[in-house]
Each structure stands twice: as structure tokens, then as C-alpha cells.
Amino acid sequence: MDLFADALPALSDAFGMILQFQVLGFLILGVVMGLCIGVFPGLGGIAGLSLLLPFMFGMEPLLGLALMVGMVAVVPTSDTFASVLMGIPGSSASQATVLDGFPLAKKGQAARALSAAFASSLFGGVLGATFLTFFILAARPIVLLFQTPELLMVTIFGLSMVGILAGRVAIKGIVAAGLGLLIGTIGEGSSAGALRMSTFDTPYLMDGFKLVIVGLAIFAIPEIIALLRQDKAISDRQVLGGGWMTGIKDWWSNIWLSVRCSLIGVAVGVIPGLGGSVVDWIAYGHTVQTAKDRSQFGKGDIRGVIGPESSNNAKEGGGLVPTLLFGIPGSGSMAIFISGVALLGTGQIEVGPSMINNNLNFTYAIVWLLALANVVGTIICIIASGGIARLTNIRFALLAPFLFMIIAFAAFQSRQSIWDLVALFGIGILGIMMRRFDWSRPAFLIGFVLASPAERYTNQAFQIARSRFRRGFDEGLDYIFSPIVIVLIVITVLSIYVGLKQAKNIQAEGDVNSGGKRAPLVFLLAITAYIGLAYWNAAAIPDYAQMDRVFPVFVATVSLIGCAVLLVQMRLQPETTPLFADREVEDRDVNTYGLWPTMGWFAALLIGTALFGFILSLAGFLFCFIRYRAGKSVGFAAIYTAVGIAFICAMAASLNRDFPPGLLQSFFDLPWPLT
């Protein structure tokens, strides 16, 4: 591809193509829809694009692209609202934003955190698009350099971020990551199809847990429950007036951090197969490692917002490379994007190896649309942020039922099964306990996200390397220790070294005081029991499926050693050490309600759903919660319930989704939405 003969004319062609009134109109429409979807936790690009797909058939290609790109580009912008304001990851791309964004909101600096996040998002998005403009012509051979050993090393590098996020007791962080890895291996093994911690009679478990559910359960549920128990607003301080200017200044003074994290986002996005789910963690880890004063991370350091937010929008630009050049989707939303593109016009745009040669002008149109969508989306978000930030001053008991409704709905989109809700609730309890006893939830989540690539690439690299070694020793060595692998090993070792040296300072869970010995010990024993069970279960996999046995057995062994060390330490050390951290003791004075009564409300919603279906039990839940727990009048509760039900029905109708049915529905045919 000649840069001057082909690329520059195509670039200006593309610019002319998108500067049409109609195209811009569709882009803005896409952006607004993307912002609306992204605001709700758990719903992201996949839900949004599915909404658009039915309209793509035969649509004027440029208009369809404007609509779809507009939507995909801004989801990682607007998902920041939930992450910062509620402590709920808006989508998998902004999990790391929660760590510092939410503490800032609690301090009444929500507007500052938001605008810093939006400025970073904008910068990352535009930088990603700019990078893409030049890189896309040269990208093909570079992407092909990333063979399986390289992908495995990238995965291991991602896992090394556990080091920095492990919390005060490093071994607890490692065991948490091990537990995440083990939960990620539940289901059918990818090599030989052996079943781990599941049987043919538990079809739900056979497919393993989905990231949406685990992410919401580990971060959102503990936060909602904790806030509810305190029964006040998220922030007890008034929102700072004009805070959003401060945020932009914050971003500007950390501009180089933003540049570096954007580049990380692009790079990880470009590599197919890893997906974007770890980008924000890697960026967060990098932010912490390169900071001088690390004392405020986890308690509300603005840099902890700028880093991940710069990376997650840049990732979309990077993610377009494998999507457009190879037809390999880097994420779920990119997969739908590909099928959407195939429907446009007469199907003349074919994403894949021929895209650059045949449709370079459309390729550049996509890049330009991406940049433009980021600008438009950010402007809208900054305008809206001041008002939306006031949500943090509302009494939380009034927000919680609404949030819980959205989260349950989002979780149910994963498999459209009542078990989605059971999984959300069950893993939610694990999340609550991990929060209580100061076990690193980020470490757990990184382990969960990387479990499947780590296992898959290990097995594949092993198998291919074996075949190469059969051909010749040198060929095998060349395959495993390519220059890229060696560089990645060096980076990983450095990252672990810096991480372990600093882990004590970075408290992803904030300060937690120690309490008695018994409760932390019981929780540790429960975790040990599960890991032991997973070990026993995996070890029983027969030899012919040994590829599915090695990884879980290895992880479980390491984790069990960690558990054993912790048990010995617990025996020897006094109960004032961080080992026995117990948030129940710490928060004893601020909690107005007990844990189990609060959980009881949600358990009741779950059981109600199993009996009467989601909508009926949701109506009961909303009404009773507002009336009795929040103590509002009957009229207020009735209006609240009506608005809530109308909202969720409108959402489901536009996404064309049903709600979980219960026992009642198996006896009676009820009209939608009660089905």
C-alpha cells in the first residue's frame, strides 16, 4: 500500500464522505443511543448494537456505519457515570475506574472525577483514531507476529497486574486471583471438552459464568448492600460547584499519563484474542507503578480515573484493527458490528483481508466517524455531568431498588435464564465477603477474566511447540522465545517486582481495621474448601482429557499452598494484623441495618421471581421496599413502582427481550411483559 498514492486520497475522500448533514445526523443519533445504553450498568455495546441490527439491512452503508460506530465509540464514555457515581462498573471496560472514581464521588468530587474521566476518554478515543489512521496500512504483518506464545505472554503480563492490586497481604491477593482463575475454568474445557465443577445435568454451569454477571456481582452488589446498610446518600457533602473544570485541569496536568495509557489501550486492543476486558486493569496497574506518591490510590486519586479511562476508549480504535483487517472480532460488540456491516447496502463492504484494498475509503470513514463520535459524546457527557452528579446526594434507599432492577435485568441478558439471577446473587455474596475481609476483588476479577485465555494459550502453545521441537530443536526454541516474548518477559518481571514492592501501599479496598479472629478464619476455610473441591474435581479428569486437567490442578495447587501459608500465619499472628481485616468491625458505628436483613430483600426478589416471574415480583419488591424500608408513603411507593415497571418494560421492549418467568408462568399463559 503506497501511502501517498492511495492512502492520502482515500483519507480526504473519507473526510468528504462523512461531512454530510445526513451522516452527521445519524452519527449523533448513534452517539445519543450509545450514551443512553452505556449509562446503565451491565448494558454495553452488545445490547446497543443488537438494537440497531434489524435496521441495518439494505441501509445506505455510510449512514449505517455512522449509526453503529457512533454507538460503539461512546459506550466506554458513558459507562463512567455508573462507575464513578455508584461504584458499579458500567461495563467491563471501566471496572478499574471504580477503584478511585467512586471514593472521589463519596468525597463529593463526583463532577471532578467525571470530567477528568471524560477528558481522558476523549483524548484516548481521538488518539486511538489518529493512531489507527496510520497504523492500519502497516498493521497486518505486525498483528501476525503475535503468535500463540506471544499471546500467552500478554496474558501472563495481564495476570502480573494482580501483584500491584493484591492489597496489604500479598498472599491473600494471590489466592483471590487463584480463586478467580478457578471460577473462570468452570464448565467445559476448551481442549478436550472435559467438565470442570459441572455435570451434564447442570447445563448452566457447563458454559461457565459470564463476565457481565461476575463483574456486577463482585463490584456492584457489595457496594449497593454496603451503602444501603448505612442508609444515607452516597456523598454526605454537597457536590462542588464548577467541579468539572477542576477535572479537566487534572487531566491536563497528567497529560503524559493519559498518552501512555491511551497507547496501552491501542496496543492491547490491536492484539486479537485477548479482548478489551483487561485493558483498564493494565492501565490502572501502569498508573500506580509509575506514580511517585501512591498513598491515595484506592481512596480517591484522580490519576486512578485518568489512566483507565484514557485506555478504554483508545482500545476501541485499536480493536478495529483485527476487526477490519482480519474479520476477527476483538470483543462481543465488534462481532455484532461485523455482522451489521455485512447487512449494509448490497453487502459490498466485506470486513476482512480484502477490506483495505477494496474499501479503503470506507475504512477511513470508520476511523473518522470514530474520532468524531468521541468528540460529540464527550461534549454531551460533560454538559450532563454536573446534573447527573447530584444523584450522589439522593438518599441511597431510594436509588437502590432501581439499580438492583437494572442490574438484574442486565444479568438476565447473559443467558436468559433464571440461573443468571441465582449466579448474580451467589457470586454477589462472595463479593460481599471478599469486601468484608479485605480480599482483593480486582485480583479476583483479573484472574476470572484471564482464566480462559491463559488456559487456552498455554495448551495451544504447548501443543504447537511440541510439534516444532519434533521438527528440530532450534525451530522449537525460535518459536517459543521470539524477540517479542523475551521483551514481554522482561516487562512482566519488572511489573511483578515493582508491584510486590508497592502492593502494601495500594489498598484497592481502602483502609480496613482488624477485628476478631473467628470470622476471617471461617471465610478462609470456606475458600480453602472450595479450592480443595476444585482440585479434587479437576484431578479426577481422566488421562485422555489431560489438557483440561493441567491448568485447574496447577492453579488450585498454588492457591492451596497460599491458603496453607495463610492458615499458619493466622495461627501465629495476633488479631490486630491486617490478616484479620474485618469491615464489619470497622463499620460497626455507621451501619444502621444488618447484613442479612438487607440481603433478605434481594433474596425475596429472587425467590419471588422463581415463583411469580420477574415483573410481578419486581412490582412487589419495589413497592414494599419503598414503603417499608425507605419509609415513604403508600402513594409515593405506588408511583415509584409504576415508574420503575414502565421503565424496565420500555427498555425490554426496545431491546426485544423477555423477563425471567417463574413457576406461575408454567401453569398460566400470561401476556407480555408478565410471561
Partner 1 sequence: MINTITKRSAALFAGASALCFGTAALADGHGLDLSGETVEWIIPFSETGGSARWANFYAPLLSEALPGNPTVVVTFMPGAGSTTGANHFQGLEYEDGTTIFGSSGSTQFPYLLNDPRVRYEYGDWNVVLASGTGGVVYLPADLATAMENGGIDALMDENFIYGSQGATRLDLVPLLAWEMLGLDVEPVFGIEGRGDGRLMFERGEANIDYQTSSSYLSGVAPLVEAGTAVPWFSFGALDADGNIVRDPTFPDMPSFAEVCEAAPACETSGPAWDAWEAFFVAGFPAQKMVFLPAGAPQEAIDTYTQAFAAITERADFEEISVARLGIYPQLTGDAAQTALESATVVPEEASDFVINWLGERYGVVLQ
- Residues in touch with partner 1 (CB under 8 A): 33, 46, 50-51, 53-55, 57-58, 144, 146-148, 188, 190-193, 200, 203, 206-207, 272-273, 326-329, 332, 335-336, 338-339, 342-343, 346-347, 350, 352-354, 357, 415-416, 456, 459-460, 463-464, 467, 470-471, 543-545, 547, 650, 653-654, 656, 669, 671-672
Q: Least Å distance between CB 588 and partner 1?
A: 44
| CB-based contact 85:402 (threshold 8 Å) | no
Q: Which is nearer to partner 1, 596 or 656 (CB)?
A: 656
Q: Quick one: 201 or 589, whose CB is closer to partner 1?
A: 201
| Residues 578 and 514: beta-carbon distance below 8 Å | yes
Q: How far is the CB of 230 from partner 1 (least distance, A)?
A: 38
Cis upstream peptide for 673 (omega within 30°): yes
* Residue closer to partner 1, measured from CB, 395 or 471: 471
In the bound state with partner 1, the residue whose beta carbon lies nearer, of 335 and 489, is 335
Q: What share of the chain is helix, strand, coil (3-state, %, to 5)?
A: 75, 0, 25
Q: Which is nearer to partner 1, 192 or 429 (CB)?
A: 192
Pick between residue 245 and residue 650 the one whose CB is nearest to partner 1: 650
* DSSP H or E run through 126: helix 110-145
For partner 1, which is the closer residue by CB, 462 or 530? 462
Minimum CB distance to partner 1, residue 28 (Å): 14
Q: Which residues contact 256 (CB under 8 A, 6 or more apart)?
A: none
Min CB(675)–partner 1 separation in Å: 9
Q: What sign does the CA torsion over 232, 236, 242, 243 have? A: negative
Q: Going by C-beta distance under 8 Å and a sequence separation of 6 or more, which residues neighbour residue 363?
A: 10, 14, 136, 324, 355, 356
CB of 661 to partner 1, least distance (A): 12
CB of 286 to partner 1, least distance (A): 27
CA 269 – CA 671 distance, rounded (Å): 44
In the complex with partner 1, the residue whose CB is nearer, 13 or 188, is 188
CA distance 649 to 268: 37
CA distance 45 to 220: 19
* 279-290 and 95-106 helices, crossing angle to 10°: 60
Rounded least distance, CB 639 to partner 1, Å: 22
Bridge-based pairing state of the strands 187-188 and 195-196: antiparallel
Q: Is 587 exposed, middle or buried (0-12, 13-18, 19+ CB in 10 A)?
A: middle
Write down the least CB distance from residue 149 to partner 1, Å.
9
- Those residues whose C-beta lies under 8 Å from the C-beta of residue 92, and which sit 6 or more positions away, are 44, 211, 212, 215, 276, 277, 449
